[in-house]
Structure formats: C-alpha cells, structure tokens
Chains A and B, each alone.
Chain A
C-alpha cells in the first residue's frame, strides 16, 4: 500500500525551466503546489563555487551533473526491423538530474522560433505547394502562432535575463540584430555579450558575403540585472566553464538563479527532491488524473493526489510518463494511428571544421551562448523554390569555452591521435581550430517514433523508452545546403583548411552528439488524431493533465528549444489560471 500525502491543487513532475516557471505562475495565483524532482537540491554556493566549478574532468568529461544512464536511459535503433539496444554510456540524452534540470548545465542560447516554425504546413503549402514535402514527412501546424506566443517570449527573456539585440522591433528591422526574427514588442532586457576574435571573423566574413550576422541571444548576463521576480544576478565573467557546469557567479540564466529562489519563499510551494514519479493515476472513467505515484530515495512508494497534474520532466520522460500512465493513444507504426510517441524530431546538423594558420582565438574565454550567427538560410527565410526540401539552419560559430580534454580530437583529418605529432598538431589546433555549426530544422517522419521497449527496464523495473530514428531525405537535403554555405563562410574567414562536416552522411546514433535537442512524441496541435495535446498543451483525453516541454513540438526549428519551451509554459499557465480553474474541462472541444 502506498503512503498518501494530503491532496494539493497541482503536482508538478520535474523542476527544470518548465516546472519552475509553471510553479511560479500557479503559486502566485494562490494554488498550493508540490513539485516532485528526481534529482537533489543544488546550490551555487555549495555545489559550484569558483573553487570547485572549474573542473573539466568532473563536470564535462564525467558529466557529474547529469542523470547517469545507470538510472534511466533509452534503447535505440535506426529502423523498425532492428532490435533496439540500450545506450549504456553517456550519449546525446544529457538529462538534468537536480533541481533546475538541464537548465542548470545548459549553454543558454535563448531563442525565439521563427513565425514559419509554428506553421510549417500552411506556410509551405501556400508558398510552394504540398509537393515540397518528401515522402513520409510529418508536417503540421502547432495551433499556436508566433504572435500568440510573443508576450510570453518577452516575459521569459525578462525572467531569464537574456542578453541580446533586437533585429525586428515592432516591425522595424534593426541592423546588427536578427532581421529575420518575428516582430518583438520590446528589446532584450540586457545588451549583447562582448564579442571575440572568432565571432568578429565570422561576422566580417558573412557580412561581406551579403548575409546578416548578429550575436546570439544569450542566457548569460552582460551586466548586473534584477529580474521581474526580484531576483538579482551578477555580471558574467566569460569564464567559459558554462555548458555542463553550474555558474559560480549567479550569472547564468538558470531556474536555480532566476525562479527557484522566489518559489522557496512561498508558503504554498514545496519541492520533494530525490523522488521519482512513476506514473499519473487515472480516475476509473479515465477522463481525469487523481494525482501521481512516486518513489522516494529510500525506495518508499507514495501517492500525491492533486487536482492538476503537470508533466515537466523533459521531452523524453514526458512521453514515457504518458505511455506508462496510459494517457493518450500510443502511436502504432504499422497503421500510422495513435499519437503518443508519434512525430519525434531531432536536429539536423552539418557545417565545417576550420583551421587557421596563425591565430590566437583564445577559445577558453567565452560563455555558453557567446556566439555569432546568420539566419539567412534558416526556416523559410530563403526561397526554396526548386529545392525539394523545407527548412534550413542557423549557421553559427561558438565561443563557449574550449577545454583541453574535450578538444583533444579536434584535429585536421589524417592527424595521428597520439605521439609527438598529435601533441604538435593539438597545440596548434587548440588556438587555431574551430567549427562552423549549422543547427538545423528537423521534421518528423512516420518511421521515427518513441514507444516502450519490450525488453529493457529502468531501476524501478519499468520499461525504458525506445527510440527508432534515422535522418530522413529532407534532413539530408537541407544539411547539404548548410554544409556548402558553412564551407563558403569558413573560406571567407581566411581559414587555411576547411573540412565539410555533415551528421546526415551517416546513420543517426546517440553517440554522434550532434545535438541534445530531442523533440516531439506528445505534440500539440489542432486535431486529436495527429496530436496528443491541444493548443494549450492539455491532454486531449485527460483534461487535468498538462504536458510541458519540447515533447510538444511537432517539428524542431533551426535553433535551441528552451526559449520556446519557456514561452509555451507561460502561455499554458495563463490558460490554466484564466480559464481552466473555472472550467475544469477540455479547453478545446474534441
């Protein structure tokens, strides 16, 4: 028999960006909220002060802050005829495992998606016709538009303290910002970060080619800042121990720095740490959830009853929790029916490795999101007529902080990986070698999906999530264009050696580390036959279950996801507070 806690208004599963933003909204509206978080409490002064933070082996190589695959991993295969096997070692699922989630160790690129990214189906059909879609591609509109989300992007950027420059302020294009972005109601709360030798070289070269470079909006504070919740942040010191690390300066935009301190002051909020939710429990009629079942760190099972259940456990775990809780109809690859596990997308990555002759790039100086980008070949910012694919990529260079162990294989092709020649080549590459990164759109395909593995289990004896995935023809075509553009820019930058890279030339693998951005599987939309959630991220089937995260994305944009994940969370919070609390039923008729 499970032990039962007193009932609360809302239980939140996972306290990363989504969970903490939702908790902030709901507690401010007066609801009693319990968050249940699998990982431990972490604290800047205790866990990542400057005396322990600058440790590449611990935080980056050994991934000390992430969820170990020993506790939960996925199984993987490229196509449905193969047997899926567990990803046993560190791989692209770099899941957060602490209060703050992946938001504690992320790089902080804080994007808005393009208007196209939310309406890829209707905009493509309108501009090119449906013949533009390759066979089997799943393309559908999200049910929210950029304009719907704009106020929520603005709020997220202000809470997070994002440093950047507007490129489209209320319709006015501003050089130096991203002129391709959707219209913004306001500037970024902080000016852009400083530039580096690398970002300067990139901006000069791409501008001289006629493109429109800008500094990437960054979740690192370019100056001291107080956010709208009243939390203070210190200026970033460009230490470069940023992605995979905590921040010892209260300078990185993390849930821990920006939201959690406020939550902890509220009497109607509490968090249960080191506790893993196994499933939501459904009422006998299956139309509502009664709460969740979780296991604490002493292996004791509990029930937490609640009127509202929020899954904010990250994309993969959200899908898995839906399947384990039997919420929504699972996707059946054979028939194409069902929605949970359907429409999985990833990120299409190609670009170029570039090696200069005699530079001092000093790449150890940087910040997670200190980057320069062009969006001329992203989304539908260029004419795809005659191109037989949709989408594209943001093309960028990153000054995120280069470390000695992590870069040891970053060498011109054909260089020995050991011996005196390696030492010489690596010493040269450490200052002269870097890469141009095409972070591309990714569209779902009928053959790429998530379900429960028939064989492999987690430490609780529950089935692992199984990912069936390979790149599709649309990915390969868009990646090729981006590869070519990256080579062009690399040459213009004056690199002595430019080597094209393209993840889609191989089969996909969890060990490719092309990107951490996994999306979809419980997508939002306008039709319950092709989406698990309605446009408010509410389950079509179980109306008091809301699912937050990139699991809602029907497709991935040529960006990192978290700005959009944050904006969608705030959009859903408003719908819950303003409508659902009175209505207690589906917010969209099905």
Chain B
C-alpha cells in the first residue's frame, strides 16, 4: 500500500477521529455543537452474516461455545453473540489489519520481534478455518462443529499448544486470535453485537458504561450490586 491508500483505509477506521477540522486552526476553539463522534454501527440485521460463510460461522460458534461454555455463570459464547461480533469485526478495518504495519518484507524473526505474518485477521480466519476443516475431516470424518465437545476441546488444546499443523496458518497464532476475539465478543459493550443482555458484566459484577462513582467510592471493600449499563442505553 502507498501512503494515500493507507490513509484512506485509516479514515474508515472506527474511532479515528478526523475529517472536518484539518488545515490551519487559529483564533478560536473549533467546536462543533451536536457532533459527537459515535462509533459507526454496522448496519446488517442481527443475524445476517457479513463476512463468514455459514459453515465458517458454525465452526466459530462451536469454538465460542467451548471457550465460553454455557454453565451456571452464563450462557455460551454463541448465544452471547460472539459469532456476530467476530463476523462484524472481520468485515471492517480490524479484519484487514488496517492499523498494522504491512510494508516491507515479511521475515521470520525471534519471538521477541512478534508476529511477522502477511495474514490479516480476516485471512487468518478464512484460511485457518478451511485448514481446520480439512484436518477435522481427515482425522475424525466430520467438521469441527459436528465433533463431540471433548474432541472439540482436544483440537483447541492442540492449537493452543501449537502442536496442530494447519499449513499456511500458524495454529497457535490462530488460536490466540480466536481466543482474543471470542473474549472480546463476550466482554465488550453489547453495542458491538456480543455480550447479549450484558451477560458477562453480570457474571463479573462490572458496572459497564457508568461514568461517576463519587457516590460509592467510599464504600471500600463492599459488594456493590450494580445493574450494568451499556452504551446502547445512551447512544441509541
């Protein structure tokens, strides 16, 4: 990418405040009333996939349910909306690694030098899920989503340990990517399509989008029974 392309793709980035006020500012605070820059909401309805194929969504849903299983603490990752969350993220700037440095040669380095891979998150899912499907079919005769939970856990553990060979995609890198994104879907504000009914915040006792604790800060060490609040309550 050249500079112009990078800046263009940056401009599409959620939260990268910038547009109206460029050029020379002088003489007053350039303040625009009524112009809060809310994060852009993806528009498709709740259940329409924008990135995943149905098969991919099934596999990711099955993984989300192993990473966040339904139990007495919460519903499972799939029901919490993790697939919808990841689907939307991958369709946007995050999926194409818009913020990452992607210039120059990709050379394998030391662990300290971090991931040196030309794969953006969306590529990692697309290629990785296909490779995982081939692996599961060869080893077990069916795709990941159709495996019994104990087998699904074993596959995930092998990815986590880096002992599974997924060809072009580094299995450990893929595991870390999925783990991070499933957690994000479970734990982020429901604004982004996951954390249905604030299920994870209820589990943790996290108050969510509350901005003033002066009334409770002196209740040190006490259980504070917050009803968590989402940004949706305020922005929509």
A56 within 8 A of B: yes
A132 within 8 A of B: no
Across the interface, which residues of B come within 8 angstroms of A274, CB to CB? 18, 22
A335 within 8 A of B: no
Across the interface, which residues of A come within 8 angstroms of B67, CB to CB? 418-419, 422
Q: How far is the CB of B29 from chain A (nearest CB, A)?
A: 5
Q: Check A418 against B156 for contact (C-beta < 8 Å).
A: yes
Q: Check A52 against B23 for contact (C-beta < 8 Å).
A: no
B53 within 8 A of A: no
Interface string of B14-25 (1 = CB under 8 A from A): 111111011111
B210 within 8 A of A: yes
B188 within 8 A of A: yes
Q: In the bound complex, how far is the Cα of B176 from the Cα of A190, in angstroms?
A: 44
Ordered by A's residue number, 6 sampled pairs between the chains whose C-beta atoms are within 8 Å are A45-B36, A51-B234, A70-B100, A89-B100, A264-B25, A360-B222
Q: Check A408 against B23 for contact (C-beta < 8 Å).
A: no
Residue in contact with A456 in the complex, picked from B17, B104, B112, B218, CB distance below 8 Å: B104
Once A43-B31, A70-B10, A71-B6 are accepted as A-B contacts, the answer to whether A52 and B37 lie under 8 Å apart by CB is yes
Total contacting residues, chain B, CB less than 8 A: 93
Q: Which of A106-114, A192-200, A372-380, A542-550 is found at the contact surface with chain B?
A: A192-200
Q: In the bound complex, how far is the Cα of B116 from the Cα of A197, in angstroms?
A: 42
Q: In the bound complex, how far is the Cα of B201 from the Cα of A7, in angstroms?
A: 56
Q: Check B23 against A272 for contact (C-beta < 8 Å).
A: yes
Across the interface, which residues of A come within 8 angstroms of B221, CB to CB? 197, 359-362
Q: Check B200 against A404 for contact (C-beta < 8 Å).
A: yes
Q: Check A270 against B24 for contact (C-beta < 8 Å).
A: yes
Residue in contact with A46 in the complex, picked from B32, B113, B115, CB distance below 8 Å: B32
Across the interface, which residues of A come within 8 angstroms of B6, CB to CB? 70-71, 459
Q: Check A404 against B68 for contact (C-beta < 8 Å).
A: no
Q: Check A46 against B98 for contact (C-beta < 8 Å).
A: no
Q: Which of B123-131, B138-146, B162-170, B179-187 is found at the contact surface with chain A?
A: B179-187
A54 within 8 A of B: yes
Q: Check A87 against B200 for contact (C-beta < 8 Å).
A: no
Q: Check B224 against A362 for contact (C-beta < 8 Å).
A: yes
Interfacial residues of chain B within 207-236, with CB under 8 A of chain A in the complex? 207-214, 216-218, 220-224, 231, 234-235
Across the interface, which residues of B come within 8 angstroms of A427, CB to CB? 73, 203-205
Q: In the bound complex, how far is the Cα of B184 from the Cα of A415, in angstroms?
A: 19
Across the interface, which residues of B come within 8 angstroms of A361, CB to CB? 221
A42 within 8 A of B: yes
B3 within 8 A of A: yes
Q: Which residue of B has the minimal Cβ distance to A237?
A: B212
Q: Check B235 against A51 for contact (C-beta < 8 Å).
A: yes
Across the interface, which residues of B come within 8 angstroms of A50, CB to CB? 211, 234
Residue in contact with B105 in the complex, picked from A296, A455, A459, A507, CB distance below 8 Å: A455
Q: Check B211 against A53 for contact (C-beta < 8 Å).
A: yes
A261 within 8 A of B: yes
Residue in contact with B17 in the complex, picked from A47, A241, A455, A507, CB distance below 8 Å: A47
Q: Check A86 against B26 for contact (C-beta < 8 Å).
A: no
Q: A404-B201, A419-B67 are in contact. List 6 more A-B contacts (CB 8 A).
A: A69-B100, A89-B99, A194-B218, A237-B211, A420-B69, A509-B111
Interface string of A29-60 (1 = CB under 8 A from B): 00000000001111101110111111111110
Main secondary structure of the interface of A (DSSP, over half): loop
Interfacial residues of chain A within 329-347, with CB under 8 A of chain B in the complex? none
Q: How far is the CB of B139 from chain A (nearest CB, A)?
A: 21
Interfacial residues of chain A within 257-291, with CB under 8 A of chain B in the complex? 261, 264-265, 267, 269-274
Q: Which residue of B has the minimal Cβ distance to A405?
A: B187
Across the interface, which residues of A come within 8 angstroms of B101, CB to CB? 69-70, 73, 86-89
Across the interface, which residues of B come within 8 angstroms of A362, CB to CB? 216, 220-222, 224
Q: How far is the CB of B28 from chain A (nearest CB, A)?
A: 6
Q: How far is the CB of B18 from chain A (nearest CB, A)?
A: 4
B154 within 8 A of A: no
Q: Check B22 against A62 for contact (C-beta < 8 Å).
A: no
Q: Which of A74-82, A384-392, A437-445 is found at the contact surface with chain B?
A: A74-82
Q: Please report B residues at the A interface, Cβ cutoff 8 Å.
A: 2-4, 6-7, 10, 13-19, 21-33, 35-39, 66-69, 71, 73-74, 94, 98-105, 107, 109-116, 153, 156, 160, 179, 182-184, 187-189, 191-192, 200-201, 203-214, 216-218, 220-224, 231, 234-235
Q: Tell which of A86, A89, A460 has the most Cβ of chain B within 10 Å.
A: A86
Q: How far is the CB of B82 from chain A (nearest CB, A)?
A: 12
Once A64-B14, A64-B15, A404-B204 are accepted as A-B contacts, the answer to whether A237 and B213 lie under 8 Å apart by CB is yes
Q: Check A419 against B21 for contact (C-beta < 8 Å).
A: no
Q: Check A194 against B217 for contact (C-beta < 8 Å).
A: yes
Q: Check B211 against A57 for contact (C-beta < 8 Å).
A: no
Interfacial residues of chain A within 497-542, with CB under 8 A of chain B in the complex? 506-511
Residue in contact with A57 in the complex, picked from B4, B17, B184, CB distance below 8 Å: B184
Q: Check A417 against B179 for contact (C-beta < 8 Å).
A: yes
A397 within 8 A of B: no
Q: Check B102 against A70 for contact (C-beta < 8 Å).
A: yes
Once A54-B209, A419-B153 are accepted as A-B contacts, the answer to whether A40 and B21 lie under 8 Å apart by CB is yes
Residue in contact with B24 in the complex, picked from A272, A403, A408, A431, CB distance below 8 Å: A272
Across the interface, which residues of B come within 8 angstroms of A586, CB to CB? none
Across the interface, which residues of A come within 8 angstroms of B15, CB to CB? 58-59, 62, 64-65
Q: Tell which of B31, B33, B192 has the most Cβ of chain A within 10 Å.
A: B31
Q: In the bound complex, how far is the Cα of B111 from the Cα of A506, in angstroms?
A: 11
Q: Check A269 against B26 for contact (C-beta < 8 Å).
A: yes
Across the interface, which residues of A come within 8 angstroms of B66, CB to CB? 418-419
Q: In the bound complex, how far is the Cα of B30 from the Cα of A297, in angstroms?
A: 18
Across the interface, which residues of B come within 8 angstroms of A83, CB to CB? 107, 109
Q: Check B31 against A273 for contact (C-beta < 8 Å).
A: no
Q: Check B39 against A58 for contact (C-beta < 8 Å).
A: yes
Residue in contact with B231 in the complex, picked from A55, A194, A237, CB distance below 8 Å: A55
Q: Check B220 against A196 for contact (C-beta < 8 Å).
A: yes
Across the interface, which residues of A come within 8 angstroms of B192, CB to CB? 57
Once A264-B25, A267-B27, A419-B67 are accepted as A-B contacts, the answer to whether A76 and B113 lie under 8 Å apart by CB is yes
